[in-house]
């Protein structure tokens, strides 16, 4: 008969294995979510590059055309532009379809990887589930999604071609001049087509990921009845309130999540469920995670909204657009620079081409060091502007929010400068929000002591992640 000491040792050993298994499962989930984030970012960057290339080609065609836009020129010009847009559609669709397959495979792993990791860590006698390939039903579903995505992209570029042709037609009729036409065309691709194509791809990428995860979850639930699913919100600033409200909800695999809408409760089996109303799926960034009580993931229930999220939702409820930063009267050179920056409408392209959303969170409410406040001039705000416009270095880092499972990406702008007879290092931090970056914290500046050696040490301490600018040679 086992003695009390032996029983305690066995219990401790079991508890240790359980804790190890839980850690392994959580780590595996975090890794898949990181890879999903990387896939989405890289695909979005490639789409932006393709769209920029198409815009450059179309602009060159317009610039080379005769200024009078004679009738014999117009059809040839229209044909050339449509050809560019057709090529854009084909290239974007090919890249998107490759991304959809990768997303589907990651959705498979979202379920398989934590189960296999937990079982291996616990020394389970069960056979750890392998990362399975795509069977015939999955391939058929994936191909249908790829064809659907291709059609939507083609439709978006065709609409752009028609809009461009209307602009050119106005020139030929004398209702607009060529310069105005070029300006209008220059807005169509980046503003409308870019958002349409990227929105299509982002939505369907999420659909492929979540569909694959749900299919695999159903298969694994037959093997392990303890397996559940948990809804996790996207963490985007402009996310759906009703999706945020069910963050943390745990359901049996074969039971739907219940989402409240203006028309009443809606049953959704997983985020981007194609059977759900379209208003609940477009640009949805939520995920459904495999969940087991033994994995000791964060408790069920919504994660608190951040201050930025609460502010954005309050503005949306009022029907207001995000406020531009409030600038002091432009009475000094520095203050005028801040005012000009704010006057961009709140958006800016950094030195790497990334879109920044500038708001008053960037600018410090007060300056702790009196040396950066001289004669009523807010030098800290001035150098905050300079850090973003003309940084010395830009670094990018990411981590997984252990509460939500979401990937948090940050950009760090560092600027060495001289002010008030002192060397300084300024730091501006932005975090990812969809296809843009928003200020994460107020700008800070620290004085440097110890000459060049001190500056090197201070810069090293301020860095984090990987350097994205200037590029390493």
Reduced to 3 states (helix: H, G, I; strand: E, B; else coil), residue 427 is strand
User: What pLDDT is attached to residue 366?
Assistant: 62
User: What pLDDT is attached to residue 172?
Assistant: 63
Rounded-to-integer distance, Cα 408 and Cα 245, Å: 20
Separation of first and last alpha carbons in the chain: 70
Rounded-to-integer distance, Cα 422 and Cα 381, Å: 17
For residue 137, give the nearest of 36, 206, 212 by alpha carbon: 212
The dihedral formed by the CA atoms of 468, 470, 472 and 473, expressed in degrees to the nearest 10:
140
pLDDT over threshold 60, residue 418:
yes
User: What pLDDT is attached to residue 329?
Assistant: 41
Show the tokens assigned to 273. Answer: 């469920």
More confident residue, 444 or 404: 444
User: What is the number of alpha carbons within 13 Å of residue 398 lying toward its C-beta?
Assistant: 17
Show the tokens assigned to 167. Answer: 């602009």
Sign of the Cα torsion 173, 174, 178, 179 reads: negative
User: What pLDDT is attached to residue 255?
Assistant: 95
Q: Residue 174: is the preceding peptide bond cis (ω within 30°)?
A: no
Percent of the chain whose predicted confidence (pLDDT) is above 70: 71
Reduced to 3 states (helix: H, G, I; strand: E, B; else coil), residue 116 is helix
Q: Where are the alpha helices (DSSP H) in 123-236?
A: 136-172, 178-187, 194-223
Looking at residue 188, the DSSP 8-state letter turns out to be: I
**pLDDT one-digit tens code per residue, 177-198:** 555 666 666 667 666 777 888 8
Show the tokens assigned to 211. Answer: 């569909």
pLDDT over threshold 60, residue 336:
no
The dihedral formed by the CA atoms of 60, 61, 62 and 64, expressed in degrees to the nearest 10:
80
**pLDDT one-digit tens code per residue, 397-407:** 987 765 566 77
SS (H, E, C) 36-59: HHHHHHHHHHHHHHHHHHHHHHHH
């Amino acid at each position: 008969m086992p003695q009390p000491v032996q029983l305690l040792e066995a219990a401790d050993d079991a508890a240790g294995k359980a804790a190890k298994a839980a850690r392994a499962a959580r780590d595996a989930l975090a890794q898949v979510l990181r890879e999903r984030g990387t896939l989405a970012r890289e695909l979005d960057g490639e789409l932006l590059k393709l769209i920029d290339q198409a815009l450059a080609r179309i602009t060159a065609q317009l610039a080379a055309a005769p200024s009078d836009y004679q009738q014999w020129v117009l059809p040839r010009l229209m044909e050339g532009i449509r050809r560019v847009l057709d090529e854009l559609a084909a290239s974007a669709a090919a890249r998107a379809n490759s991304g959809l397959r990768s997303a589907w495979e990651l959705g498979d792993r979202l379920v398989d990887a934590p189960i296999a990791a937990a079982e291996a860590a616990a020394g389970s006698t069960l056979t750890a589930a392998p990362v399975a390939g795509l069977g015939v039903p999955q391939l058929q579903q994936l191909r249908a999604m790829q064809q659907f995505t291709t059609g939507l992209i083609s439709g978006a570029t065709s609409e752009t071609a028609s809009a461009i042709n209307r602009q050119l037609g106005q020139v030929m009729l004398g209702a607009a001049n060529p310069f105005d036409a070029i300006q209008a065309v220059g807005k169509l691709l980046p503003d409308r087509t870019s958002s349409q194509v990227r929105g299509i791809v982002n939505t369907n990428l999420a659909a492929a990921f979540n569909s694959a995860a749900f299919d695999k979850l159903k298969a694994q639930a037959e093997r392990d009845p303890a397996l559940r699913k948990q809804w996790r919100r996207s963490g985007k600033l402009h996310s759906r309130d009703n999706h945020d409200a069910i963050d943390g909800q745990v359901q049996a695999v074969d039971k739907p999540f219940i989402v409240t809408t203006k028309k009443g409760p809606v049953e959704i089996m997983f985020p981007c469920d194609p059977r759900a109303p379209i208003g609940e799926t477009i640009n949805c960034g939520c995920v459904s995670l495999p969940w087991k009580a033994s994995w000791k993931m964060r408790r069920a229930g919504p994660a608190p909204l951040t201050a930025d999220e609460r502010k954005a939702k309050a503005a949306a409820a009022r029907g207001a657009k995000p406020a531009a930063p409030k600038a002091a009267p432009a009475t000094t050179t520095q203050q005028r620079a801040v005012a000009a920056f704010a006057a961009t409408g709140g958006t800016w392209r950094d030195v790497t081409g990334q879109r920044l959303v500038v708001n008053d969170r960037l600018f410090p409410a007060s300056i702790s060091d009196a040396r950066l406040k001289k004669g009523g001039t807010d030098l800290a705000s001035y150098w905050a502007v300079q850090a973003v416009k003309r940084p010395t270095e830009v670094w990018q880092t990411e981590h997984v929010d252990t509460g939500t499972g979401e990937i948090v990406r940050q950009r760090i702008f560092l600027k060495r400068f001289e002010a008030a007879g002192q060397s300084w290092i300024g730091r501006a931090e932005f975090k990812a929000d969809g296809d843009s970056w928003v200020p994460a914290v107020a700008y800070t500046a620290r004085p440097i002591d110890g000459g060049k050696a001190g500056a090197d040490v201070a810069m090293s301490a301020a860095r984090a992640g990987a350097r994205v600018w200037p590029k390493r040679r």
